[in-house]
Amino acid sequence: MDHYTPVISVVTDQANLYGSNGIFDNWWLDWEKAAHVEYFDSTKQLIFSQKAGIQVDGGAGGSRSHAQHSFKVELDHGVLGEGAIDYALIPDRPDRTKYSTFYLRNGSNQWLVLPYKDALQVKAMGSEANTYYSAWRPVSVYINGGYFGLYELREKFNTEYFETLEGADPDSMDILSLSYWYGSVLRPVTGSVNSFFSSYFSFYSLDPSDPSYWDSADQYFDQSWYADYIISQSWMGNVDWPGNNIKLYRSNATDFRWRFCTIDLELALGPNSWTDCYFDHIQFMMSQDPGNPFINIWLKGLQNDRFRDYFINRYADLMNTAYGVERLLALEQDMFDQTVLEMDNEYARWWDPNAIPALMNFFNDNHLQFQFQLSERTTQVRNHIESNFSLPNQVDLALDVFPPGAGKIQISTVTPEEYPWQGVYFNGVPVKIEAIPSEGYQFSHWGNNGLISDTENAVFLDTLNIFSVNFDAYFEAEINAISEEKAIISDFTIFPNPAGDFLFVKNESPEAYSDLAFQLIDLNGRILKEGVYSEKIDIQGIPPSVYLLQLSGSKGVVAQMRFMKINK
């Protein structure tokens, strides 16, 4: 049988899998058994071969109970293993080369439907936001020499995960979990649950109307990370939460503030889901029981203006960037491409080897349905935010900088690298927009747009009481970046500024100059053009940027004036 994925071979006594003492026939128990594990990369090169422990793992969604059982491999098991491996198992984590444990997941609720669905969802929500997620790669697994199916190789949220990703001290960690499978009780993976309840009771006593609420709450629950976590659940429309699928953690790396992990989103968005792209998850969250601490942090935060405004603006930021349709569809397509070539083997092993063409059409249809759901979701979520927060309207916003490369604009938490840039925000929520000059430049002014009252102030902080608006930031070169000489104050003026094809110079002084010459100097101090002074200077051949016009004569330099060249 040919494979496009890496291959994992697991060899163990058959009695360790089936029968009265077998982990597969007793999948509801957390028994550990001895095995020998080998890993071959996609070129069939053997990467490691060693002893390990294996244990059925997962929750109530089918990870354990499907005939193709999910299980974790414990390479560094104290009794059954031989130690962690030094190898980058997952391409999405190129800097992670140590693995003591990894999880072989069957797709859980999406088994034989779209097994990479959850992996895509948590990556899409977490890889460019402040939340933890379990990275993925597909692998083909053999058990005792027989093909056992296509699996997701996933990370586990253990001490090694957080130590590797952010340098956390294992001895400082509390990692907690709550799932339906274990009775919906908060339990420690490592550390103690008492630390969480101590933090929550202190948080619960805070007054949301207090101006210091954010700072006080942030001591217990990292507010910016928590906002991103809630947004990840909300955008996907996950309702298998917040009474289930909770994972949270703190350590010295988080300043002992709690942060949450984005997990198990697979029952959100079609196919095979409890919600679809039209589901109003904002309303769902607002109707949750405040007795649930994991959602009450959000419900209480909405009573505080700073948190409420941050949450709405941050949601808009992510929908304008990380949750952009092109990015999401590209991520989904990549996972589909890595999976589809193995699905005929998977279907032949676990469904019907005589119906492979029909099953592959089924798989492709699920992929297309998922892409449609992803592409439609942001439009719906924006409407839900506008409605549930009673906001006047959505605002189409554009940012641009002049001249190109002279600076950037930060809006809320986003600083685009490329301009012009477009996004959608919300009227009724104050948003901070700041012009930031590049080295050698300084902010000059904003273009008039009907909202900015002080165009020479680099910072705009107000509501966007409009339906469509452009924020155009104009920058100019710092004099010292062009010339070491101090700018000379004179009676010469130039217009227009910015200028297109011609620059006009006017002498307001009663003194007449008969021997003047001009020089056009760029930001690096180079003379691009020079000649005899004229009241009309042709600048058509000069690229858009900021320049210095220098006038000099027998008395030396008599004027230095900055101007911006633009394309007409």
The answer to the question of residue 177 being in a domain is no
Number of H helices, E strands in the chain: 11, 27
For residue 271, whether the previous peptide bond is cis, meaning omega lies within 30 degrees of 0, is yes
Domain boundary among 107, 142, 160: 160
- Residue 482's pLDDT is 47
> Residue 453 and residue 103: Cα distance in Å, rounded?
57
> Residue 531 and residue 488: Cα distance in Å, rounded?
20
**Do the beta carbons of residue 469 and residue 448 sit within 8 Å?**
no
The answer to the question of residue 138 being in a domain is yes
> Residue 428 and residue 463: Cα distance in Å, rounded?
6
Same domain, 137 and 39: yes
476 contacts: CB under 8 Å, gap ≥ 6: 406, 441, 442, 444, 546, 562, 564
> Residue 259 and residue 324: Cα distance in Å, rounded?
24
Pairing relation of β-strands 468-477 and 441-446? antiparallel
> In the structure encoding, which two tokens stand for residue 225, read together?
């990370």
- In this predicted structure, the answer to whether residue 476 has a pLDDT above a threshold of 90 is no
Same domain, 11 and 156: yes
Domains: count for the chain: 3
377 contacts: CB under 8 Å, gap ≥ 6: 235, 236, 237, 269, 277, 323
> In the structure encoding, which two tokens stand for residue 221, read together?
């629950």
Domain boundary among 138, 160, 182: 160
> Residue 363 and residue 115: Cα distance in Å, rounded?
10
**Do the beta carbons of residue 5 and residue 149 sit within 8 Å?**
no
Mean pLDDT in residue range 534-541: 92
Domain boundary among 160, 181, 199: 160
- Residue 22's pLDDT is 99
Confidence of residue 484 (pLDDT cuts 50, 70, 90): very low
Q: What residue type is assigned to position 116 of the chain?
A: Y
pLDDT in tens, 192-208: 999 999 999 999 999 99
Average pLDDT score over the chain:
95
pLDDT in tens, 337-369: 999 999 999 999 999 999 999 999 999 999 999
- Residue 508's pLDDT is 80
Residue in 12, 13, 82 with CA at minimum distance from that of residue 51: 82
Mean pLDDT in residue range 111-127: 99
Same domain, 142 and 15: yes
Mean pLDDT in residue range 226-242: 99
Same domain, 551 and 521: yes
Q: What residue type is assigned to position 33 of the chain?
A: K
Exposure on the CB side of residue 37, measured as CA atoms within 13 A: 28
Same domain, 76 and 116: yes
Same domain, 555 and 429: no
Q: What residue type is assigned to position 221 of the chain?
A: F
What pTM was computed for the model? 0.87
Confidence of residue 404 (pLDDT cuts 50, 70, 90): confident
The answer to the question of residue 275 being in a domain is no
Least confident range from 28-37, 345-354, 462-471, 508-517: namely: 508-517
Same domain, 95 and 34: yes
SS3 category, 14? helix
- Residue 486's pLDDT is 40
CATH of the domain at 507: 2.60.40.3080
- In this predicted structure, the answer to whether residue 485 has a pLDDT above a threshold of 60 is no
- In this predicted structure, the answer to whether residue 323 has a pLDDT above a threshold of 70 is yes
For the chain, the first-to-last Cα distance in angstroms comes to: 64
> Residue 351 and residue 349: Cα distance in Å, rounded?
6
Mean pLDDT in residue range 556-565: 85
> In the structure encoding, which two tokens stand for residue 249, read together?
């953690």
Q: What residue type is assigned to position 294 of the chain?
A: F
Same domain, 414 and 502: no
pLDDT in tens, 275-314: 999 999 999 999 999 999 999 999 999 999 999 999 999 9
Same domain, 142 and 79: yes
Q: Where are the alpha helices (DSSP H) in 440-518?
A: 479-482
Total residue length of the chain: 568
- Residue 51's pLDDT is 99
- In this predicted structure, the answer to whether residue 135 has a pLDDT above a threshold of 80 is yes
Same domain, 407 and 497: no
Confidence of residue 492 (pLDDT cuts 50, 70, 90): confident
The answer to the question of residue 146 being in a domain is yes
> Residue 14 and residue 17: Cα distance in Å, rounded?
5
**Do the beta carbons of residue 450 and residue 466 sit within 8 Å?**
yes
Same domain, 416 and 520: no
For residue 420, whether the previous peptide bond is cis, meaning omega lies within 30 degrees of 0, is yes
**Do the beta carbons of residue 196 and residue 248 sit within 8 Å?**
yes
Own/partner pairs for 32-35, CB < 8 Å, 24+ apart? Answer: 32/74, 32/77, 32/80, 33/80, 34/80, 35/10, 35/11, 35/73, 35/80
**Do the beta carbons of residue 175 and residue 157 sit within 8 Å?**
yes
Q: Give every strand in the sheet of 502-507, ordered side by side.
A: 492-495, 502-507, 536-538
- Name the residue range of residue 445's domain: 394-477
Same domain, 45 and 15: yes
Confidence of residue 539 (pLDDT cuts 50, 70, 90): very high
**Do the beta carbons of residue 96 and residue 90 sit within 8 Å?**
yes
CB atoms within 10 A of CB 324: 15
The answer to the question of residue 459 being in a domain is yes
The answer to the question of residue 379 being in a domain is no
Q: What residue type is assigned to position 565 of the chain?
A: K
Q: Where are the alpha helices (DSSP H) in 32-144?
A: 117-126
The answer to the question of residue 291 being in a domain is no
pLDDT in tens, 366-392: 999 999 999 999 999 999 999 999 999
Confidence of residue 550 (pLDDT cuts 50, 70, 90): confident
> In the structure encoding, which two tokens stand for residue 336, read together?
């589909």
CB atoms within 10 A of CB 390: 7
- Residue 162's pLDDT is 99
**Do the beta carbons of residue 391 and residue 426 sit within 8 Å?**
yes
Mean pLDDT in residue range 6-28: 98
The answer to the question of residue 557 being in a domain is yes
**Do the beta carbons of residue 339 and residue 150 sit within 8 Å?**
yes
Phi, psi of 160 (to 5 degrees): -65, -35
